[in-house]
Structure formats: structure tokens, C-alpha cells
Amino acid sequence: MAPGQLKKLQDDPSVKYIEEDRIISLGLPDIEAKKGKPGGGGTTSPAQQTPWGISRVNGITNYTGTKKAWVVDSGVDLDHPDLNVNTSLSRSFIIGGKTTTPDDENGHGSHVAGTIAAKNNSIGVIGVAPGAQVVSCRVLDRRGSGSFSWTVAALDYIATDGVGTAGDVVNMSLGPSSRYIDSSVDAAVQAVAAKGIKLSIAAGNESDDCFYYSPAHNNGPNIYTVSAMWESDRFATEFSNFGSPVDYAAPGVYILSTYKNGGYETLHGTSMAAPHVAGILLLGNVSTDGHVTSDPDGNPDPIAVH
């Protein structure tokens, strides 16, 4: 934007504020792991197993409600045999690229969706709320990169089409890779929450205080920020953000879930922790079962369970 255009907009009484758009990314932590793809990226269907995180948060056998999980991410594999995707509501909010489909070209969003709601069938994995509808709100490209403005557009869409009274839930496993507060995305998060729609937000993977990051630092009714833990209930000090905005800890290391192209993958991060809480929210209120150990802020996060 030219300087003259900026000044004109700043002087326009209908404009509340202007801020520079920023890049957001996935920033998955670099933990040594055997990253398997059971099923060979979708060529075969592995026998179903229950990931440790689903057991830890007390996932159920089958979900029969009508609540939807809106996945603001890299998209969702629209025809994955282990996911119940609402394709009619799914949208892409990526601007300026060649891709307009809400289908997942990265894998991250499909992984998130599977943790929330992978079906209880004979293949792959099972989610916290098995078989619940997931809606793809794509704001990240195939490299896992996007912008705050695309995220704002997705949240505006959800605020209009999501149904708080029906118990819809939003998962946001994304954010900036360094400290940054974005007023626009924060306002969009608060607007969705004000509609009665619950949001589960990843705390971030910078081993830092999430107070300095949007959208993780948001607080208020219907907003839940989630840190990550190991299977031993130890806080994932290797990467997980911490701090006063965090509401719960959830499994975030060695998490097996669905992936792009009908496949399955093991990933780590607060990106993997947040969808556990999103699934719990589809089932009702969040309960707790103990606290994590080794929390860097000295105030151990309660462990979220159904």
C-alpha cells in the first residue's frame, strides 16, 4: 500500500484500525521420532488402533450428536475413509494462489481432524468424538504457511455459519513463529466465542510464554488454550509454550492420526494437543485428571479429559 493510500484510510472514520498482515505457520517441533505412515500414504488401510492420547483423555466409542468441528488449518482430506467431512460447508480462504480447494495438501489439518473425530471403524485410528462432522476451513498452503488475514476471513465465516447453541467447536492449531500480537485475529476469535462457539487453540511450539502470541494468548468464555504433554504426563518442555493463558494440557507427543491422501502419520506439537480438547468439547464440558509435571511457569496445567 502506498503511503498516501495508508494515510487516507487512517483518516477514514469508518476504519477502526489498520495493521500489517503477518505470516503464520505450523512450526512443528523437531523431535526425533519414527514417523510412520501406516497404510503407505493411503495405498492400504491399516487395522484400527486407539492412539494413546485418545485413551488418556477418555475418548468415547461413537459420537451420535450433530455438533461440528471447524478445523482452521491446512485443509482436511475431503475423501479420507476415516473422516466424516462436511464438504458442503468446507471452504478455502487462501488468496492469490492457484489452489481454491479446501482439500488438504499438507497433511497437518487432516491430522488434527482425525484426533478430533476419526471414525470407529475397522481401519486406521479412532478420534475423541468418533464420527463427528469436521469442516475444513483452509488457511494454510501445501507448505503449511498462511496469513493472519486468511485466518480472520475463516473465523468471520464460522461466526456467521457456525452454531453456538448447537455446541459447535473450532480448532486453531496455528500461530506466528515469533512473538506477535495481531488485533484483527484476536477480535475475530472473540467474535466467534461471543456467538457461543467454543475454540480450542494451540499454545504454540516456541518454548516461550504464550502471553506474547496471537491467537494463543486469548482468554474469556468459550476460549481454551492448550499446552502439550508426553504420555508420562510430563509437560513437553522440549517445545510447548506455557503461561497464564493456558487452560489445559493434553497429549502432544507421538500422536498418530489421519493424514493427507488417505494416509496416517505420527506428529508432535501443541497442534496435536489442541484437537484432543476440541474433541472433548464436542462431547460436553472439559473435566480434569491430575496435572502435568515440570511445567516451566511453576503452575502445573490441569490435564484435560472427558
If you average pLDDT over every residue of the chain, what do you get? 92
The DSSP secondary structure of 68-135, one letter per residue, reads EEEEEES---TT-TT-EE-TTT-EE---SSS----S-SSSHHHHHHHHHH---SSBSB--SSTT-EEE
pLDDT at 32 over 70: no
Is-contact 204 216, C-beta < 8 A? yes
- Burial of residue 217 (number of CB atoms within 10 Å: 0-12, 13-18, 19+): buried
Of 45, 95, 102, 98, the closest CA to residue 73 belongs to 102
Query: Tens of pLDDT along 262-278?
Result: 999 999 999 999 999 99
Given this structure, which CATH class describes domain 46-305? alpha beta
Is-contact 293 249, C-beta < 8 A? no
Question: Rounded to whole angstroms, how far apart are CA atoms 203 and 141?
Answer: 21
- Kindly report whether the peptide bond that precedes residue 176 is cis, defined as omega within 30 degrees of 0: no
Q: Which of 80, 108, 111, 268 is catalytic?
A: 108
Domain boundaries, the chain: 46-305
How far does Cα 223 stand from its chain's mean position?
Answer: 13
Report pTM: 0.94
Confidence at 4, pLDDT banded by 50, 70, 90:
confident
**pLDDT score of 37:** 41
Q: Which of 240, 271, 276, 306 is catalytic?
A: 271
Query: Tens of pLDDT along 33-59?
Result: 434 443 334 445 799 999 999 999 999
- Locate 138 and state its grid cell: 483452509
Helix H or strand E segment including 201 = strand 198-202
DSSP state of 170: E
User: pLDDT: is 36 or 94 the higher one?
Assistant: 94
Q: Which of 73, 77, 104, 247 is catalytic?
A: 73
Query: Tens of pLDDT along 52-87?
Result: 999 999 999 999 999 999 999 999 999 999 999 999
Please indicate whether residue 108 is annotated as part of the active site: yes
Query: Tens of pLDDT along 201-252?
Result: 999 999 999 999 999 999 999 999 999 999 999 999 999 999 999 999 999 9
The residue-averaged pLDDT of 144-150 equals: 93
